[in-house]
Amino acid sequence: MSEAPGPTAAPALRAHSPEVSAARARRWGSLYFAEHVLRVMKSYSWTIVMYGVGQPVAYLFAMGVGLATLVDTGRGAIFGGVSYLTFIAPALLISAAVMSAASEFTFPIMDGFKWRRVYYGPHASPLTPQQIALGQVIAVTVRFLLQSAIYFGVVALFGAAPSPWGWVSILVATLAGLSFGLPLMAYAASITQDKGQFAMVMRFLVMPLFLFSGTFFPLDTLPLTVRWIGWISPIWHGTELGRVFSYGYQEAPLLTVAHVVFLLALAVLGWLLTKRQFIKRMAG
Summarize pLDDT for 133-190 with one digit per residue, the tens. 999 999 999 999 999 998 899 888 888 899 999 999 999 999 999 999 999 999 999 9
Average pLDDT of the residues in 41-49: 83
Summarize pLDDT for 87-141 with one digit per residue, the tens. 999 999 999 999 999 999 999 999 999 999 999 999 988 899 999 999 999 999 9
Q: How far is CA 47 from CA 51, 116, 222, in A?
A: 6, 21, 34
Query: Considering the entire predicted model, what is its pTM?
Result: 0.88
Alpha-carbon gap, residue 52 to 284, rounded angstroms: 35
Q: Which of 162, 32, 185, 30 lies closest to 102 in space, CA to CA?
A: 185
Summarize pLDDT for 187-233 with one digit per residue, the tens. 999 999 989 999 999 999 999 999 999 988 899 988 989 999 999 99
Length of the chain: 284
Q: What is the pLDDT of residue 104?
A: 95
Domain boundaries, the chain: 28-283
- Per DSSP, the residues of 149-177 read HHHHHHHHHTT---STTTTHHHHHHHHHH
Average pLDDT, the chain: 88
Q: What is the pLDDT of residue 16?
A: 65
Alpha-carbon gap, residue 114 to 120, rounded angstroms: 10
